[in-house]
Amino acid sequence: MDLHFGDSKPTDDERAAVDALFGPPQSSWEGADRSDADLRWARGGREARDRRDLLLPGLHAINDRIGWISEGALDYLCRRLTVPPAEAYGVATFYAMFSVEPRPATVLHVCTDLACAAAGASGLCAGIESRLGVGSGVSVERSPCLGLCERAPAALAVKAGNPVRTAVSAPASVEAAVLAASAPDSAPEERPAAGAVPQAGDPSLILLNRVGVVDPSSLDDYRAHGGYTALRRAFALGPSGIIREVTDSGLLGRGGAAFPTGRKWQATASQPDHPHYLVCNADESEPGTFKDRVLMEGDPYALVEAMTVAAYAVGAHKGYLYLRGEYPRALHRMQYAVDCARARGLLGDDILGQGYAFDIEIRRGAGAYICGEETALFNSIEGYRGEPRSKPPFPVEKGLFGKPTVENNVETLVNVLPILTMGAPAYAAIGTPRSTGPKLFCVSGTVEHPGVYELPFGATLGELLALAGVRENLRAVLLGGAAGGFVRPDDLDVPLTFEGTREAGTTLGSGVVMAFDDTVPMPRLLLRIAEFFRDESCGQCVPCRVGTVRQEEALHRIVERTGADAADDIALLREVGRAMRDASICGLGQTAWNAVESAIDRLGAYE
Amino acid sequence: MTAIALGVPRRLVEFTIDGQEARVPEGSTILDACRAAGKDVPTLCQGDTLTPKNACRVCVVEVEGSRTLVPACSRRAEPGMEVRTDTERARHSRKIVLELLASSVDLSTTPMVAGWIKEYDAKPDRFGPAAARLNEEPKIDNDLYVRDYDKCILCYKCVDACGDQWQNTFAISVSGRGFDARIAVEHDAPLTDSACVYCGNCIEVCPTGALSFKSEYDRRVAGNWDESVQTQTTTVCAYCGVGCNLTLHVQDNEIVKVTSPHDNPVTHGNLCIKGRFGYQHVQNRG
Ligand code: SF4
Ligand code: SF4
Ligand code: SF4
Ligand code: FES
Ligand code: FES
């Protein structure tokens, strides 16, 4: 490799931010001043290159301290890691939370996505922008869903510095959001996680039973409420015993694809190639989804325990928790939980004295919906652009770092705990024969009590909405998020199971249920969905990269039109949508048109 | 590529293409098999010496049992596969891909594409006059080659050729994302400020003419680039002892560009700055 660095130098601050992560450089080969010894041999090279996966943490370190990433800072980081600057630039410009242009130290992300749009985000944005004009030291950025939909409209302030400061304002008013941005330290404390769980404290809850009941920082409290009994049972069963239980439980992945978890684990466990990796996908970026955040904020040790069980089952000694960059509180709670568990021998070389070694590293995303796609997530961890890989080969065979990898999302993993404590038959008795167990639903939009609800699979949409306090004049319900589909107010008897929603011609997706009453302008909403996919497309393949743009243009044209006037463009939308579904590399392009199509077909959006 | 194994014998994979039996060595792609069977599948981002990124999606075919279409250029043939290359579904996707591309970039110097646009009845104009295009000025920042990203289909071939697949210089990469993704050096600087060593290997693989010799670019601007009167002569580079093959493209008794045969087992089409660009002394006629 033939690295070339320009002559831009990092500032002291930038250098300190990078050195805080890697320690001071050892030789001029990785960025220190030149010494005589450096002329005689080269150091850095391979050793540094093997740490390529620290590129994203490095970019975060600079962006956190300075607020943006300058040429000098990027070059210095590249020297430290032996990464070509052109590639690092490609990575830095991939993520929405990074900037390679100078900007103010404080960025206020104001959500303009579906639930927030329905709650008046555009007025909020306008208000904030008029208060925080140029020169205010705050850059106001319109953001896709921040995962705070139950408190829409939402804003997240990030103030660069050492340390970086964050503050959430939700539900946000102009005053509250401006305060959060200008003085994040004195902004009012965020509402506890349990506030997002209207059923909190109900003893029949299985997945949410500790949220709001235990102190999320206390490992002892977690243990006092049944924590770590599943891991003990896991050690008693042994890896194949765990996989048998999980298979018998019928657990299907909760991230949207509904793949049998036991089969995935079995396939990974039996791979001869080593090491094996475990990845927990906590990059919950589907608009309307916030359940993983609530679990991580309200019951963080449960995820640590569940990851340990999963790793033991598939023979992994290293696990990555890939946590979306927009979740500062979940990040802190998870980091604290991981550190405590390690200090108490529940992670590390010899877990519970069983001779099993496992540790968790937390990786922070930086604003890219596509990184929730499993192979894009691997690329992101490895320090490459978060572009999906083509499959086959599948992750169970060649995943993270080219090794057999099992990837599950937070909700899926947390289900493993009750499977082990109550036993597979009892777990499988919950729900329906083909969709077993409890399910979390993220209800938002125009309802009285938005939040995360836990119901056994099989409850109907109407029952769920009744719990959440559906309002009159319901116009449409979006199931499964932006990649899902709309249903009508007379579809309320659809059973909320994987098979039930499929039979009804829609999808459960990741468990999003967003209600919209007739005050919400449908064409604007559909436009927002199209805009979302255009923004989030990684750009790798033509059907998605250009198709999402052409679809958004067509929707713009018909925003105020209906009937025959819209027919041409609707035909165009269908043709492009069909090719996107058939020929795109990954699920983003394949599903980008689903919601709009369902709105046209089921809601008659432009009739 | 030939579908006849030349190296260590490999097992044969049996499957069907459009109902006909096909047998190819293990590891061959569906595209290899199609070409061996004389079937025409259009390709844009595929290249004979690079691992395809399968990004353009113009080569998609139907495979029985697969939910989506699959890219022929990169999917390996598997025993028992039933492949259909010319169904309505595959043709529809190809047509849309061609329309999407032609509506957003300038394909005027991309070989073959005009024929496919006709064959698939693609109508790039139907997205309307306001359809977003790249609309970028060519980047002319050195005397050797021009980057005209208005013609770029983002096939990633130049990035792979400059990076770990050929040159190992890593001067360029994809930056940004979505419709805003572009090939760029770091900080979008001029090429002259980058790690580029002007080997021209990226030009060698670019399928669209987005990267071209300055000599070709100037002639095109002046309106005197005419491939039909050019001759091609393959010879051996005289600069060093490696012995790379050079193909000299000559028009009006002047070398107008230099390429290199991809089937050369030593270089696979790679050259260095001298072989690629150092021909001016030949035509200094005093
Ligand atoms: S479908 Fe979209 S997101 Fe997925 S690889 Fe293609 S361009 Fe990227
Ligand atoms: S000329 Fe060579 S070094 Fe320069 S960008 Fe192209 S492939 Fe890379
Ligand atoms: S410049 Fe050429 S080789 Fe590079 S991505 Fe664009 S079309 Fe492909
Ligand atoms: S936080 Fe705004 S839509 Fe989810
Ligand atoms: S040639 Fe196969 S995807 Fe481009």
Write out chain A residues lying below 8 Å of B91, CB-based.
none
Ligand of minimum distance to the alpha carbon of B209: 3
Average pLDDT, chain A: 95
Q: Using the 8-state DSSP alphabet, how is residue A172 labeled?
A: -
pLDDT score recorded for residue B68: 97
Tell me, using a 6 A CB cutoff, whether residue B210 lines ligand 3.
yes
The rounded Å distance from CA A164 to ligand 5 centre is 44
The rounded Å distance from CA A450 to ligand 4 centre is 12
**Contact between chains at B178 and A535 (C-beta distance less than 8 A):** yes
Ligand of minimum distance to the alpha carbon of A587: 1
Burial B82-112 (b: 16+ CB within 10 A, else e): ebbbeeebbebbbbbbbbbbbbbbbbebbee
Mutate-to-test residue for ligand 5 from B34, B35, B54, B63, highest number of ligand atoms within 8 A of CB: B54
Please compute the mean of the pLDDT values over residues B237-259 and round it to a whole number: 95
Q: Would B102 be classed as within a structural domain? A: no
pLDDT score recorded for residue A45: 66
The number of residues in chain B equals 286
Q: Would B130 be classed as within a structural domain? A: no
CA–CA separation, A581 and A586 (whole Å): 9
Helices A300-314 and A229-249: crossing angle in degrees, nearest 10, is 60
B159 phi and psi angles, rounded to 5 deg: -65, -45
pLDDT score recorded for residue A31: 81
Q: Using CA of residue A405, residue A407, residue A412, residue A415, what is the dihedral sign?
A: positive
Kindly tell me if the per-residue pLDDT of A2 is higher than 70: no
Write out chain A residues lying below 8 Å of B93, CB-based.
543, 578-579, 582-583
| Residue B285 or A382, more confident | A382
The rounded Å distance from CA A2 to ligand 1 centre is 30
Q: Would B200 be classed as within a structural domain? A: yes
pLDDT score recorded for residue A14: 97
Q: Would B232 be classed as within a structural domain? A: yes
pLDDT category of residue A415 using cuts at 50, 70 and 90: very high
pLDDT score recorded for residue A209: 96
pLDDT score recorded for residue A43: 64
pLDDT score recorded for residue B3: 54
pLDDT category of residue B1 using cuts at 50, 70 and 90: very low
The domain tally of chain B equals 1
Task: Give the tens place of pLDDT for each residue, A33-47.
Answer: 888 877 777 666 677
Q: Would B268 be classed as within a structural domain? A: yes
Write out chain B residues lying below 8 Å of A370, CB-based.
177
Distance from CA of A94 to the nearest CA of B (A): 5
> Are the beta carbons of A496 and A458 closer than 8 angstroms?
yes
| CB proximity under 8 Å: B 35-94 to A | 53-58, 60, 68-69, 71, 74, 89, 92-93
A445 phi and psi angles, rounded to 5 deg: 95, -150
Domains, chain A, in order of start with CATH, read 12-93 (no CATH), 106-187 (3.40.30), 219-429 (3.40.50.11540), 435-517 (3.10.20.600), 522-603 (1.20.1440)
**Contact between chains at A2 and B170 (C-beta distance less than 8 A):** yes
Kindly tell me if the per-residue pLDDT of B91 is higher than 90: yes
Q: Would B156 be classed as within a structural domain? A: yes
Average pLDDT, chain B: 94
Q: Would B55 be classed as within a structural domain? A: no
A168 phi and psi angles, rounded to 5 deg: -105, 140
Q: In the beta sheet, which residues pair with residue A363?
A: A322
Write out chain A residues lying below 8 Å of B130, CB-based.
553
Best A91, A370, A534, A542 member to test B by mutation, with max B CBs in 10 Å, is A542
Residue of B95, B100, B195 with shortest CB distance to A86: B195
Residues with Cβ within 8 Å of A206's Cβ and at least 6 positions away in sequence, in order, are: A418, A430, A437, A438, A454
Please determine, for the modelled complex, whether the ipTM score is greater than 0.90: yes
Kindly tell me if the per-residue pLDDT of A32 is higher than 90: no
Distance from CA of A233 to the nearest CA of B (A): 39
Burial A445-464 (b: 16+ CB within 10 A, else e): bbbeebbbbbbbbbbbbbbb
> Which two three-digit tokens encode residue A518?
């007739």
Assign residue B144 the CATH number of its domain. Answer: 3.30.70.20
Task: Give the tens place of pLDDT for each residue, A505-525.
Answer: 999 999 999 999 999 899 999
Kindly tell me if the per-residue pLDDT of A167 is higher than 60: yes
**B230 lies in which domain range?**
139-282
The rounded Å distance from CA B106 to ligand 5 centre is 18
Kindly tell me if the per-residue pLDDT of B7 is higher than 90: no
Q: Is B179 within 8 Å of chain A by CB? A: yes
Q: Would B64 be classed as within a structural domain? A: no
